[in-house]
Chain A
Amino acid sequence: MFDPDERQRPRLAVVKFASCDGCQLSILNLEEDLLALGRMLDIAYFPEASSDMRPGPYDIALVEGSITTAEDAHRILALRQQTKVLITIGACATAGGIQALRNWADVESFKRAVYPSPAYIQSLSTSTPISEHVHVDFELWGCPIDKGQLLRVITDLLVGVQPRLPADSVCLECKRRGNVCVLVAKGLPCLGPVTRTGCGAICPGMGRDCYGCFGPSEGARKGPGLPPNTTSLARHFHSELQLVPIEVMRRFRGINGYVSPFRAESDIWENKS
């Protein structure tokens, strides 16, 4: 992907849109690996960490955050033009994030709920993933991303391999870790069966249900690249675990609620409630 003969280290940019900075913190949490990363790559732009901010072009841009203002919609276009490989990091950039809950609401009333003078506030009525605005080369899921996955994607790119990460469900990871299934044993409405691996099945490991922070997995039954079976999981929540439709709706409409198939599933149950 990068010319191995090139004397220059690849230039990295880390850019933020609407987000909580948690995914960028995951980069800083690489600790020793962060120092190694600083040697392998030329960190040309990373305002969270450095005042040395140099303009593009960049070889790799890691993009955190979703698009919620008209200005940001322009900013992402400009970044795309300057970037060879654009990677979204986290649920905000990949799926619109928790702030995409506004997409189902009247943002003017949100403004009124939070600000005494809503007219001063410039904000779009939607929070949208980066891929709705520009071409994205690779998406890294999670809220926050897993730093091991991040490192793997960057090292893959550096050695010229097209990055690939597993896309099966949290369930498989749970089995590998030997967790007790919280859906079956505790009757908790766990989203693990339809949520992408990557976190290490943290929530069931901590005795609770998965809330889908790594986004939808790829279908086990229907095959790679196809959506997981949210329909049957939602029905199970309703008929076996006695969740009323609005509760099923809220389950799917969370951190990654704006991305299909979670979005579609939540809409179905909203209509039933």
Chain B
Amino acid sequence: MSEETAQTRTIAVDMVARVEGEGALRVTVKGETVQDVELRIFEPPRFFEAFLRGRHYEEVPDIVARICGICPVAYQMSAVHALEWVFGLRIDGGLRDLRRLLYCGEWIESHALHVYMLQAPDFLGYESGLAMAKDQAAVVTRGLRLKKAGNAIMTLLGGRSVHPVSVKVGGFSRVPLRRELEGLKDELLWARDAAVETVHWVADFDYPEFALDYNYVALRHPNEYPFNEGRVVASSGLQISASEFEQHFIEHQVDYSNALHCKLQGSSYLVGPLARLNLNQEHLTPLARQVLADRRIELPLRNPFQGIIARSVEILYALEESLRLIELYESPSEPALPVVVRPGTGMACTEAPRGILYHRYEVDVDGVIRDVKIVPPTSQNQARIEQDLRLFMPRLLRLPDKGAALACERIIRCYDPCISCATHFLNLEIKRESIA
């Protein structure tokens, strides 16, 4: 749609597809300068933080999973870790490994979906993974099978892949037998090779020249690639524990969006696979390193479009890690540690597929939740997405409206925003004001 008057020009695309949730983008342009970029998330708020109050801590993993169908494990993990902090529980050994394995499953599933079905079609000129399947059946089938390998891990450990049911404070309601985990091995070995091919495949895509100076934020752990644990670090030098998160990361409300904007020391920053990979490269496996070297891909990656490379490398990592965890698995004697309820406040950050996810719970003597705060990755990236669009916009101004709009959608998809987490109809509007 295009409307033209002497003064302004408004371009609107009703919806940006292939992201999770509902949002809109509005860009105002005056002559050659971009005046305003507003990413509006109008996915209706669902008020989880409010109605978690008054619920019992045992109900929390089932409820918070429903914030997002794409990354339920992330919500469950941040929640149980924060609650375990309150109760003074420390999860080690086999139970810790199983949580890591479950998280691997979610990364593989979510990343494979994004790489193959949501983002790759942009590079190859298709409107969807399904359309791509008509010409490139083998590739799409590979992607779907990879995704399924992730689902298989989640289903074994959690009962099902969307909203797993076994996660609880203290551990799991049931832990698998060694033999059951071994049943996954063949498929995971296949998937590991497919993940290597995936990195090669995406490395050949045509990337626009666009390198940026990001402040990357991710968890970092002394000896492993982070899932559930680590300190929150930023390339700007920050190093804090999750309990200090709210002192540094401040949420702001903007009048055009239902998602809050989170900033670090007043500035935008980036969370997610790019940030994680750049800050944790020393913990990559030899195979993952080798594939990067073969393709002459040097870290840090600073081009947002190459998020798809980071995601593919993380699929590979997660598969190797899954195989390692299965190899050394010894079934824990009890599926969960006993919980002794005590009142207090607990915080935790874990690495959702899209970046760090912060939870804080205040619990009373009866184990009932009194207060909750949740900061999802997408609300953290929002300000940065706007800033990147602002930086990229000047190149787009000569394009016809429709082309510019499509390019903006592509940029937004790079961040794999999960709008249900923060909110899927992205309504793009470019408003052009002439200088005269």
Contacts and interface: CB of A to CB of B under 8 A. Distances in A.
Contacts of B131: 50, 52
Given A22-B69, A22-B72, A203-B165, A121 B144 contact: no
Nearest to B110: A25
B420 to A, nearest CB: 5
Interface stretch (B53-61, B90-98, B219-227, B313-321): B53-61
A49 interface: yes
A52 B255 contact: no
A105 interface: yes
B264 interface: no
Given A28-B113, A206-B173, A105 B128 contact: no
B161 interface: yes
Size class of the contact patch on chain A: 35 or more
B70 interface: yes
A49 B55 contact: no
Interface stretch (B18-26, B188-196, B229-237, B387-395): B18-26
B105 interface: no
Interface in A156-197: none
A199 B161 CA distance: 12
B147 A31 contact: yes
Contact of A72 (B44, B62, B137, B335): B44
Interface string A30-47: 011011001000010011
B59 A50 contact: no
B162 A25 contact: yes
Interface stretch (A3-11, A112-120, A228-236): A112-120
Contacts of B133: 35, 38
A250 interface: yes
Contact of A20 (B62, B69, B140, B148): B69
Contacts of B165: 202-203, 206, 208
A207 interface: yes
Which residue of A51, A69, A72, A120 has the most chain B CB atoms within 10 A of its CB atom?
Answer: A51
Interface in B130-149: 130-131, 133, 137, 140-141, 144-145, 147-148
Contact of A47 (B56, B59, B147, B425): B425
A49 B129 contact: yes
Interface of A: 16-26, 28-29, 31-32, 34-35, 38, 43, 46-53, 68-69, 72, 97-99, 101-102, 105, 107, 109-111, 113-117, 120-121, 123, 127, 143-144, 199, 202-203, 205-208, 211, 213, 247, 250, 254-255
